[in-house]
Chains A and B, each alone.
Chain A
């Protein structure tokens, strides 16, 4: 019993991290048809700058922790907006080139981060409470998992409200469905592109800082593995709704935790074989949207 609870709650927590990364990927793909391989670099920069914040402040304090989250999100958003404006926008409508550019940026950025921060693990020690455990139905849950879950729920709620209630949110929802018709209403949809990149970058930067605390350290590679799982999440969840992305995040992570616990630590393997299985079962294509 307690080990099942442990698997479920840690699965939820890891799923929360996947969601933070996948939500932006999904919005970007849905609106712009760009599979953004640079998302891993957004995560890494958010995490590394978050680490700098921790280094230069009292990392064990809550305000330092919160500050690192905010700074990570802002840095991720700025990096993403820059990417969209400088690299993606000039290649308007050329999706293959856009994807290639994000691949190139990802390699270049991570190489640059390696140069600045080195490849060694930079440890971090946040508020002591994060390392303590809360006992739920006999399962000992590290408190960082609660933080991950709360952060993802807040981001999901905030994004949903934004998409429902604001004009730009409506433009994004309409654009995901039919971008050409949005422009035919006299709306400059490219502003929504920059916005969606920024939002995705903010969530990725936030996810990066949280992932750093979860792993109690950071290297420039921190985004790469998260990105793979985020891709699996959006292949399974589709790009139609954020709730779909959230559900798929939890499914992938819970399966992964389950396999790690009960199937000889094969979690990553299981998550990754989900990919061809889902693709084979959904021959309509990678992100098979309704026509």
Chain B
């Protein structure tokens, strides 16, 4: 396999939940290094795209991982091929301890416990605490840690900073930056400052299809493009950065179809 082959190739992926189509026709690739941000307005199908790739919801189309078709495999087999998943709602096992949550995620003989402990010293101290009693930020750390314990070839990370305090946002972004040195990441993220910091390239979904693929910095610098694709206003946040319009009702629906 040549190094140029993308780690993930998604071709004409569609996905449905309970018979309802939630991803229409999405095609994109993720290269073997760096962070690829998957962007789009609320409800456009980013989460469903990740879940479709993993076979967690019904999907059709072609998905190749390291050149191999995975679109008819069962979820656990796909993950065993070397994918780490950080779901949008964290999905820690609330009745299990922190240590048990991490233990269940270990798929290899020598999991990277020291690496994870260095990234999240908090979790070491709280190893016997029931995960359901952790704060949102700590639960997110457990969820990210679960994905970093193994030698994965790809991480799928869904809105890791959603609802977190700024200090924790930085901590999680630091962890992902550290991880991205050794493993490619497909990142769904609404916080465009985090995207700017972490991502090398962006893939933008509009109306159920990929509408834009490009260099991350160049895309984010194009305020007009960002507003058109994401309904996000640039330069009007308190610290003069880029603030996402969290409100799905905001921004007109006109003319984004590529």
Binding site for B on A (CB under 8 A): 167, 170-171, 173-174, 177-178, 180-189
Closest Cβ of chain A to B215, distance in Å, is: 31
Q: Is the CB of A180 within 8 A of B96?
A: no
Q: Is the CB of A177 within 8 A of B79?
A: no
Q: Is the CB of A181 within 8 A of B76?
A: no
Partner of A173 from the list B76, B93, B107 (CB cut-off 8 Å) is B93
Q: Is the CB of B103 within 8 A of A185?
A: no
Q: Which residue of A lies closest to B94 (CB)?
A: A177
Contacts of B129 in A (CB 8 A): none
Most buried by B among A174, A178, A186: A186
A-B CB contact pairs (8 Å), 30 listed:
A167-B104, A170-B96, A170-B103, A170-B104, A171-B104, A173-B93, A173-B95, A174-B96, A174-B101, A174-B104, A177-B93, A178-B91, A178-B93, A180-B56, A181-B93, A182-B104, A183-B56, A183-B74, A183-B75, A183-B79, A184-B56, A184-B76, A185-B76, A185-B79, A185-B104, A185-B146, A186-B80, A186-B107, A187-B104, A188-B76
Distance, CA A167 to CA B85, complexed state (A): 21
Contacts A178-B91, A183-B76 known; list 15 others, CB within 8 Å.
A170-B96, A174-B101, A174-B104, A177-B94, A177-B96, A183-B79, A184-B54, A184-B56, A184-B75, A184-B85, A184-B91, A186-B79, A186-B107, A188-B76, A189-B76
Contacts of A183 in B (CB 8 A): 56, 74-76, 79
Closest Cβ of chain B to A225, distance in Å, is: 33
Q: Which residues of B66-124 have CB atoms within 8 Å of chain A's CB atoms?
A: 74-76, 79-80, 85, 87, 91, 93-96, 100-101, 103-105, 107
Contacts of A182 in B (CB 8 A): 104
Distance, CA A188 to CA B79, complexed state (A): 10
Q: Which residue of B lies closest to A181 (CB)?
A: B91
Distance, CA A186 to CA B78, complexed state (A): 7
Top-5 shortest CB links A-B: A186-B79, A183-B75, A174-B93, A181-B91, A186-B80
Distance, CA A167 to CA B100, complexed state (A): 9
Distance, CA A175 to CA B28, complexed state (A): 32
Q: Which residue of B lies closest to A182 (CB)?
A: B104
Distance, CA A174 to CA B104, complexed state (A): 9
Most buried by B among A167, A170, A173, A184: A184
Q: Is the CB of B79 within 8 A of A184?
A: yes
Distance, CA A147 to CA B18, complexed state (A): 49
Distance, CA A256 to CA B255, complexed state (A): 69
Interface residues in B, total, Cβ within 8 A: 21
Closest Cβ of chain A to B97, distance in Å, is: 10
Most buried by B among A174, A181, A182: A181
Partner of A185 from the list B74, B94, B105 (CB cut-off 8 Å) is B105
Contacts of A181 in B (CB 8 A): 87, 91, 93
Contacts of B103 in A (CB 8 A): 167, 170
Distance, CA A183 to CA B75, complexed state (A): 6
Contacts of B101 in A (CB 8 A): 174
Distance, CA A181 to CA B79, complexed state (A): 11
Distance, CA A186 to CA B147, complexed state (A): 11
Closest Cβ of chain B to A95, distance in Å, is: 13
Distance, CA A173 to CA B100, complexed state (A): 10
Contacts of A171 in B (CB 8 A): 104
Q: Which residue of A lies closest to B156 (CB)?
A: A184
Distance, CA A171 to CA B76, complexed state (A): 13
Distance, CA A251 to CA B143, complexed state (A): 39
Closest Cβ of chain A to B252, distance in Å, is: 35
Contacts of A167 in B (CB 8 A): 103-104
Q: Which residue of B lies closest to A191 (CB)?
A: B76
Q: Which residue of A lies closest to B86 (CB)?
A: A184
Q: Which residue of A lies closest to B56 (CB)?
A: A180
Q: Which residue of B lies closest to A174 (CB)?
A: B93
Closest Cβ of chain B to A188, distance in Å, is: 5
Q: Is the CB of B95 within 8 A of A177?
A: yes
Contacts of B76 in A (CB 8 A): 183-189
Closest Cβ of chain B to A194, distance in Å, is: 15
Contacts of A184 in B (CB 8 A): 54, 56, 75-76, 79, 85, 87, 91
Q: Which residue of B lies closest to A189 (CB)?
A: B76
Distance, CA A183 to CA B87, complexed state (A): 13
Contacts of A174 in B (CB 8 A): 93, 96, 100-101, 104
Q: Which residue of A lies closest to B74 (CB)?
A: A183
Distance, CA A233 to CA B107, complexed state (A): 38
Q: Which residues of B169-188 have CB atoms within 8 Å of chain A's CB atoms?
A: none
Q: Which residue of A lies closest to B91 (CB)?
A: A181
Contacts of A189 in B (CB 8 A): 76
Contacts of B94 in A (CB 8 A): 177
